[in-house]
Amino acid sequence: MANIKSQIKRNRQNEKARLRNKAVRSELKTRTKRALAAAEQGSDTTTQVTREAVKRIDMAASKGVIHKNTAARRKSRLMKKVAAAQSAQ
């Protein structure tokens, strides 16, 4: 444990940020899975769910939770999988 007052505060801030970032990353995974599941089932809400997943990926990148190139890669892979699932039906 740190003895310096500023470091104690920094530790508190880092813990809050870690938990916030963890929640955002978890939501990204959930939204991506929902989009893929909707596409595979041929649901009529596929476009809406996919749009929401892409929106969350963009928001995470803009907040610095994930890198912008990581966000671009994830969006690309998601759209590719959704298109493949829709064309398979």
Taking 80 as the threshold, does the pLDDT of residue 89 lie above it? no
Domain-by-domain residue ranges, the chain?
Answer: 5-87
Say what percent of the chain tops pLDDT 90: 90
- Residue range 5-87 forms a domain whose CATH class is mainly alpha
Amino acid 42: pLDDT: 87
Amino acid 84: pLDDT: 94
Say if residues 70 and 61 touch (Cβ distance below 8 Å).
yes
Amino acid 43: pLDDT: 86
User: How confident is the model over 47-76, as a mean pLDDT?
Assistant: 97
Query: 3-state class of 43 per DSSP?
Result: coil
User: How confident is the model over 82-87, as a mean pLDDT?
Assistant: 93
Reported as a single tens digit per residue, the pLDDT across 17-34 is: 999 999 999 999 999 999
